Structure 1
Amino acid sequence: MSFRTNLQYLRSRRNMTQEQLAMLLGVSRQAISKWESEKAYPEMDKLLAICDLFGCTLDDLVMGDVSRPATATAPASGPASTSPTADGKSGNGDETHGTPAAQTTISEQRERAQQNLQTPAAVLPKDITGYDAHRLRFSMMIASGVAAIIAGVGVGNLFDSEHSIIGDSPLNDFLTFVCICVGVIVGLALIIPGSMAHSDFRRRHPYVEDFYTEDDRSRETRMTAVGVVAGIAAILIGIAVSEYADTVLEIGAGWPIAVMLLLIAAAVFGFVYCGIRRGMLNIDGYNKETEQEKRNRAGDVPRSAQLSGALSGIIMLVATIVGLTLLFLVPGSLFWMSWVIGGLLCAVSGVVVGLFKDRFDK
């Protein structure tokens, strides 16, 4: 078999299109088409990437037959072969070896061995794009950034003007401001680079083959459950500490609020970290999102999405006009309720448009 035939066989065994293979290898779809039509030949790094992706050797891919790997056919004659003795008979010492029953048994064994060689074991997909490492790094950076902002506010409460840990000092307000600023800076220093790295990863790898097993998903589900339960427990402990300090110690601000916010920061870290880790296991959703973004950039947006966006924009513009009018012309009014109502109306319009999506997208 030639390289073209081997590549087509490997791709069809994974039910993979030329475009998907091109995304995994970082080349264009036209390059895959040229390889399979023998109009061009891939470079060595692409050949090695194909071997890693499909779990085959370079010799089998280029010169052999990937449907019958050479490594599997080598010992084919081992158990079924017999060595003749000097008198021309079989050397296994069995006098009935030459009988029809024995010959049938040996033939069946050879036939089964041949069938096993012709049916190579399925190779599990591999993470050749580094998606799993990116998933762990992205979830850690986003969760740490959000937790850092909340923790900064919590530490700032240690210098509350009424119950500061350094007593009555003119530095209390300054230290509170510094703690909040440090928390925000650290949080943004983690969230912004993490988000940009995620966008860059999606740009470089618009398609990722699903390599996660059911065991991986079960493990992440258990981890998410533990993170949610631990986070809820931390929040309840923080509320209990704050209530105890307020009712028993008569300290309604200062360190009790700081302890509560720090525990909330830890809980939010667990929620965000475990949630992102588990959510990014949905490789199909990742591929669909990148495909939808590609269509949006090309201007190929469904009419239902265009209509939903237009309705939401009109609703929020009207809500803004009403809110500002109430703010300046009707003192003491609940002007901010206009945005709340506007958001609810946007949700309602989205649901209604979704019900007639098929009709709009015809």
Structure 2
Amino acid sequence: MTFRTNLQYLRSRRNMTQEQLAMLLGVSRQAISKWESEKAYPEMDKLLTICDLFGCTLDDLVLGDVAHPTSPESAAAPVGVVDVATATVVSDAGTDAVSLPKDLTGYDEHRRRFALLIASGVAAIIASVGVAGLFDPEHSILGPSPLNDFLAFACICVGVIVGLALLIPAAVSHEAFKRRHPYVEDFYTEDDRGHESRLLAAGVVAGVAEILVGIAIVVYAGDVLGIDAGWPNAIMLLLDAVAVFGFVYFGLRRGLLNIDAYNEDAETERRKREGTLPFSARLAGAVFGIIMLVATIIGLTLLFLGVDDHLFWIPWPIGGLLCAITGIVIGLFKDRLDR
């Protein structure tokens, strides 16, 4: 078999298109097409990357037959099991080694780091409000002091700064990762997904327990101790911060295992930068932005005018509901809009 035939065979075994392989290798689709039509030949670094990607040797890829490898490593693998060293699965027939997908882009490390930064940023902001509660004028840990208001404000400012210092770099790095790697091959196994699902379940249960403990402390302090502000609210918010950290961290870790969704989002971003998004997608984005902008203006107006401190948040969920309804309507007429 020639290199062309070997490459086509390896792609077909993974159900991988030329464009997907091109994105994994950092080349154009036309380059893959030229390789497979023998109009051009890849450089050595690309050949080695292909070997890593498909779990074959350079000799088999260039000179041999990847369907029937002759390398000692492949021949020595037990039938029907995974060879961890080479990431291959040998079929029961003992003649065909199928390479398992590998994390060549560093996606898993990025997934864990992104989830940690986002969860930490959100938790830091919530925790800062809790710490600020320790300096409530009526029940401050310092007692009556002119510093209470300043310290409460300083705590919130520090928390917001720390939160933004974590959230903004996380978002920027995620967008940069999607630009560098617009396609990631799904290398996660069902065991990986099961493990992350169990972690998410444990995080949700622990978080709900922490929230309930915080509520119990506030109720006890108010009904028994006669303290309706200050440290009870601070403890509740700190527990809420820990709970939210678990929800966000384990939720993102589990959600980012959906490689298909990641690839769709990356493709959408690429088409958005190139200005090739379909009209329905551009229309939906514009309408969603307008709805949430109006909701934000209304919510902030209610907050600063003091109309009702307990109702200022209502425009945001209403805006989210309207966005969902709009998305459904646009989806129903998607084909007609994109003509």
| TM bracket (short chain) | 0.7 to 0.9
Query: Could you tell which deviates more after superposition, 241-250 or 61-70?
Result: 61-70
Aligned partners of 2:274, 2:120: CA distance in 1, in Å?
35
3-state SS, counterpart of residue 257 of structure 2: coil
- The residue that corresponds to 1:125 in the other structure is 101
TM-score, L = length of structure 2? 0.84
Contact 2:125 2:162 in 1 (8 A): yes
Q: 1:348 to 1:13 in 2, by over 3 A?
A: closer
The structure 2 residue matched to 1:277, chosen from 241, 248, 253, is 253
Contact 2:200 2:251 in 1 (8 A): yes
Query: Could you tell which deviates more after superposition, 157-166 or 132-141?
Result: 157-166
Aligned partners of 1:200, 1:317: CA distance in 2, in Å?
26
Counterpart mapping for 1:1-362 below 5 A: 1-71=1-71, 116=93, 119-309=95-285, 344-362=321-339
After TM superposition, give the deviation of residue 123 of structure 1 in Å. 1.6
3-state SS, counterpart of residue 161 of structure 1: coil
Q: 1:240 to 1:283 in 2, by over 3 A?
A: same
3-state SS, counterpart of residue 71 of structure 2: helix
Aligned partners of 2:19, 2:191: CA distance in 1, in Å?
29
Query: Could you tell which deviates more after superposition, 342-351 or 27-36?
Result: 342-351
Q: 1:332 to 1:71 in 2, by over 3 A?
A: closer
Q: 1:27 to 1:307 in 2, by over 3 A?
A: closer
Q: 1:149 to 1:241 in 2, by over 3 A?
A: same
Q: 1:319 to 1:38 in 2, by over 3 A?
A: closer
What CA deviation, in whole Å up to 9, does each residue of 1:91-113 have, x standing for no partner? Answer: xxxxxxxxxxxxxxxxxxxxxxx
After TM superposition, give the deviation of residue 339 of structure 1 in Å. 7.5
Q: 1:346 to 1:213 in 2, by over 3 A?
A: closer
Q: 1:338 to 1:217 in 2, by over 3 A?
A: closer
Contact 2:136 2:149 in 1 (8 A): yes
Contact 2:179 2:270 in 1 (8 A): no
Aligned amino acid, residue 237 of structure 2: L
After TM superposition, give the deviation of residue 228 of structure 1 in Å. 0.8
After TM superposition, give the deviation of residue 143 of structure 1 in Å. 0.3
Q: 1:232 to 1:299 in 2, by over 3 A?
A: same
Query: Could you tell which deviates more after superposition, 335-344 or 289-298?
Result: 335-344
Aligned partners of 1:29, 1:190: CA distance in 2, in Å?
36
Q: 1:229 to 1:249 in 2, by over 3 A?
A: same
Aligned partners of 2:307, 2:234: CA distance in 1, in Å?
33
3-state SS, counterpart of residue 248 of structure 1: helix
After TM superposition, give the deviation of residue 121 of structure 1 in Å. 2.6
Aligned partners of 1:251, 1:336: CA distance in 2, in Å?
26
After TM superposition, give the deviation of residue 168 of structure 1 in Å. 1.9
Q: 1:159 to 1:61 in 2, by over 3 A?
A: same
Contact 2:69 2:75 in 1 (8 A): no
After TM superposition, give the deviation of residue 122 of structure 1 in Å. 1.8
3-state SS, counterpart of residue 240 of structure 1: helix
Query: Could you tell which deviates more after superposition, 303-312 or 28-37?
Result: 303-312
Identity between Structure 1 and Structure 2 (%): 71
Aligned partners of 1:73, 1:354: CA distance in 2, in Å?
51
After TM superposition, give the deviation of residue 34 of structure 1 in Å. 2.5
What CA deviation, in whole Å up to 9, does each residue of 1:174-199 have, x standing for no partner? Answer: 21122111111111111100110000
Taking only aligned residues, the RMSD between alpha carbons, in angstroms, comes to 3.1
5+ long unaligned stretches in structure 1: 77-114
Aligned amino acid, residue 51 of structure 1: C
Aligned partners of 2:244, 2:314: CA distance in 1, in Å?
28
What CA deviation, in whole Å up to 9, does each residue of 1:14-56 have, x standing for no partner? Answer: 1111111111111222222232233333222222211111011
3-state SS, counterpart of residue 183 of structure 1: helix
5+ long unaligned stretches in structure 2: 77-91
After TM superposition, give the deviation of residue 341 of structure 1 in Å. 5.9
Aligned partners of 1:356, 1:128: CA distance in 2, in Å?
39
- The residue that corresponds to 2:81 in the other structure is none
After TM superposition, give the deviation of residue 306 of structure 1 in Å. 4.2
